[in-house]
Copies of this chain bind each other. A is one copy, B any other.
Amino acid sequence: MGVAERKERHREELKKDILMAAKELFLENGFEATSIRNIAEKIEYSPATIYLYYKDKNEIIHALHQEGFKLLIQHFEVLGTIPTAFERLKAMGHAYIQFALKHPDVYHLIFTMKEPLAHVQECELDWDEGDASFTLLLKTVEACQQEGYFKGIEPVGLSFLIWSTMHGLCTLRTSGHMEHMTIVCQQVQDLKKDVDGLLAYNYETFVKLLERLKS
């Protein structure tokens, strides 16, 4: 009889509802300000119910973590249309920054928080989305080498380094450290009106640097 299936469907539906409520509250009020009790109130259940569907808060974070990565990969979808590898790499960096600026909390969740990745490791889960993103970068870098860029540089190390630079730019931006620099450095103050202008300027500098590595 289909009664077990119906119940199973109901269970999965509620599990998704919890995640959606968590996601909305999370994007609305930020991660720090979202509690289990908030989520429970939103779906009109008791806080204890949530623990029947998710082991603990980390499991909810991990689920959101996966969703966040899918969102990042969505931002990379435009890359398929770009013919030359170096232009693709440039667009990838641009998309990465746009993602970090549009969804700072999601960025924080997937790239700076310890808990979600720790959860992946202790539960021996895999991290396909993360691997896929890095592989995409690596393939692009290798394609750039076919175009004459980054000659003689080991591609994995370079990919990691490019990621580090982009990550550094994005986190210094979202943590407010770049905002401080706009006050300090009067020298470049005219180049950028706002903090995102400074970010764009820094990214341009990075691209120029990479362009020099063509020989």
Contacts and interface: CB of A to CB of B under 8 A. Distances in A.
Contacts of A164: 165, 168-169, 172, 202
Contacts of A168: 163-169, 171
Contacts of A112: 112, 171, 175
27 contacts: A114-B175, A114-B176, A117-B175, A118-B176, A120-B180, A130-B180, A134-B181, A156-B185, A156-B187, A157-B201, A157-B202, A157-B204, A158-B205, A158-B209, A160-B181, A160-B205, A161-B202, A161-B205, A163-B172, A164-B172, A164-B202, A166-B168, A167-B172, A168-B168, A168-B169, A171-B171, A212-B212
A171 B209 CA distance: 22
A60 B205 CA distance: 37
Interface of A: 111-114, 117-118, 120-121, 127, 130-131, 134, 153-154, 156-158, 160-161, 163-169, 171-172, 175-177, 179-181, 184-185, 187-188, 201-202, 204-206, 208-209, 212-213
**4 pairs of A and B residues whose beta carbons are closest in the complex:** A168-B168, A164-B168, A157-B205, A167-B168
Contacts of A163: 168, 172
Q: Is the interface of A mostly helix, strand, loop or mixed?
A: helix
Copies of this chain, how many?
2
Contacts of A127: 180
A29 to B, nearest CB: 15
Contacts of A206: 161
Nearest to A169: B164
